[in-house]
Amino acid sequence: MPSTSYLVAVLAIVFTITFALRAVPFVVLGRLRDSMIVRRLAAWMPVGILAILAVTALRGTIATDPHGTRYALLAVAVTIAVHLAFGRRTILSVGFGTAVYVVLLNAL
């Protein structure tokens, strides 16, 4: 069993490395805030991440359940409509889309 001082030293090193790795992006971002690349990334990364997530989820649904494809596409349409209609509130639109998909999948 390692000694208490050894465990405290390991925890201190882990804390320092973790803190540094989490702080570095904010320090760098502060200097790059006026950069055109950072502004473009801020605009397009959330859309890209959600698109990748949607494609991955739909690919799995379409491959395993051909009948669920219509339900998934309808849920995507509801998600987009709610997102555009209610001021681009992501949690609201994803919540409604998920609810529509679950209801359609279980009720029909």
Phi-psi group of 87: left, alpha or beta (phi > 0 → left; psi -120 to 50 → alpha; rest → beta): left
- The pLDDT of residue 13 is 97
- The pLDDT of residue 81 is 93
DSSP 3-state of 89: coil
- The pLDDT of residue 59 is 84
- The pLDDT of residue 18 is 96
- The pLDDT of residue 105 is 84
- The pLDDT of residue 20 is 93
Tens of pLDDT, residue by residue, the chain (108 residues): 789 999 999 999 999 999 999 998 888 877 787 888 888 888 888 888 888 988 888 888 777 877 778 888 899 899 999 989 998 888 899 899 999 988 998 887
Q: Which of 24, 83, 28 is nearest to 100 (CA)?
A: 83
What backbone phi and psi angles, to 5 degrees, belong to 86?
Answer: -110, 35
pTM for this prediction: 0.56
